[in-house]
Amino acid sequence: MSETKRKMIISALAVLGIIIIGTLGFAFLEDWSIFNSFWMTVVSITTTGYGDLIPATAAGKIFTMILLICGIGLVLYAMSVFVSAIVENQISKFKQRDKMMDAIKHLENHVIVCGAGRVGINAAHVLKNYKVPFVLIDIKEDLAEKAAEEGYLIMLGDATSDEVLINAGIHRAKGIVCALSEDAHNVFGVLTARALNPGLKIVARAVEPETIPKLHRAGANKVISPTQSGGYQMAMAMIKPAAVEMVNTLFTSRHLEVQIEEVEIAESSSIANQPINVAFNREDNNVIVVAMIRDEKVILNPRSKDIILAGDTLVLIGSRQDLDGIDCNFK
């Protein structure tokens, strides 16, 4: 328990205690009802003093003087503790925000996730598991606070605003995930992001199927419809359960022996212009090239003598140990 919270509890109990003592004291000394005694205690320690009730006995007057001295002091102390807690909380929030903004300023080749709702936060979980740097943006304070409590970098603001996206480092980012709850916001977010960074990779969420072509026209590289994907996956799980289970294992787990990775081949790569069987010698590792993406064309199960070119994207499957042993940048 923090020191501030401890002081708040103690001061609240002290005020409650003085109210109980005052109520019982007036009821006993002045023979008032419990309600009238409670009323007198409250108006006394808060210095309101309406004057509708006045102690008639000497003992009651002495008790009132003691109650005023002790009660007013306790109330003032309690008020100072609560005000101090509010101020400290605001200062803590400002410090946390400044710390986050400073961390965001140092991000490079990161992913911006627009929306910290169910879809956005799940995307954040995956990015975290794959150790991809990212920052969340959401306009709802409760979602932003929840994400901050989980240790995520998050900005409170409108994800479709130029200023917010610039502060999130969109010019330094490698991609953006538009996972807002409304299609109109996602379309506008894609348009804004594409205008600010033409080379950005954009993945957008579509709630309604008719929004998918609009998002593509706005500049999204990939559009995901959770409802369509969910329905398709449920049907395939019924028809081909083993295949679906294998795909889910490859894409949803980072703790199993078999994993899937996607690697882009740089111009300076040591394996550029080499055949696959030379670049991935099975005697050195057990990595399999299952697909090669070249000029947006997917080549499934490429032949061992196919030449790897700079700019290609390779989809690899292998054990964690073998994949970790490969220089994923191929520089």
User: What is the full DSSP assignment across 232-270?
Assistant: HHHHHHHH-HHHHHHHHHHHH-SSSSEEEEEEEPPTT-T
pLDDT of 330 over the 60 cut: no
Tell me: do 12 and 56 sit in the same domain. yes
308 secondary structure, DSSP code: E
pLDDT band at 325 (very low <50, low <70, confident <90, very high): low
Tell me: do 315 and 270 sit in the same domain. yes
pLDDT band at 329 (very low <50, low <70, confident <90, very high): very low
Average pLDDT value for the chain: 86
**For residue 99, is it within any domain?**
no
Instruction: Count Cβ atoms below 10 Å from residue 57 Cβ, excluding itself.
Output: 11
What is the reported pTM?
A: 0.64
Q: Can you tell me which residue has the tokens 């002091």? A: 73
Across 305-330, average pLDDT? 76
What local confidence, expressed as pLDDT, does residue 331 receive? 46
**For residue 200, is it within any domain?**
yes
pLDDT of 296 over the 80 cut: no
What local confidence, expressed as pLDDT, does residue 20 receive? 94
Q: Express each pLDDT in 216-250 by its tens digit.
A: 999 999 999 988 888 877 888 888 888 777 777 66
The answer to whether 290 and 239 have CB atoms below 8 angstroms apart is no
What local confidence, expressed as pLDDT, does residue 46 receive? 87
User: What is the full DSSP assignment across 270-289?
Assistant: TTTTEEHHHHS-TTT---EE
The answer to whether 329 and 314 have CB atoms below 8 angstroms apart is no
Tell me: do 18 and 72 sit in the same domain. yes
**For residue 249, is it within any domain?**
no
Across 24-53, average pLDDT? 89
**For residue 302, is it within any domain?**
yes
**For residue 294, is it within any domain?**
yes
Can you read off the two tokens belonging to residue 203? Answer: 């993945």
Tell me: do 134 and 220 sit in the same domain. yes
- Give the end of a domain, one of 91, 115, 132: 91
**For residue 247, is it within any domain?**
no
Tell me: do 157 and 113 sit in the same domain. yes
**For residue 278, is it within any domain?**
yes
- Output 78 or 236, whichever has higher pLDDT: 78
Q: Express each pLDDT in 87-101 by its tens digit.
A: 887 777 777 777 888
Can you read off the two tokens belonging to residue 69? Answer: 């001295």
Across 157-184, average pLDDT? 94
Tell me: do 214 and 125 sit in the same domain. yes
Q: Express each pLDDT in 114-134 by its tens digit.
A: 999 999 999 999 899 888 999
**For residue 100, is it within any domain?**
no
- Give the end of a domain, one of 91, 120, 151: 91
Q: CATH number of the domain that 45 lies in? A: 1.10.287.70
Q: Apex CA 50: angle with CA 44 and CA 54, to 5°?
A: 70
199 secondary structure, DSSP code: T
Tell me: do 122 and 211 sit in the same domain. yes
Q: Looking at the 3D structure of the chain, how many domains does it have?
A: 3
| Torsion sign across C-alpha atoms 197, 202, 206, 209 | positive
Q: Which domain holds residue 271?
A: 257-324
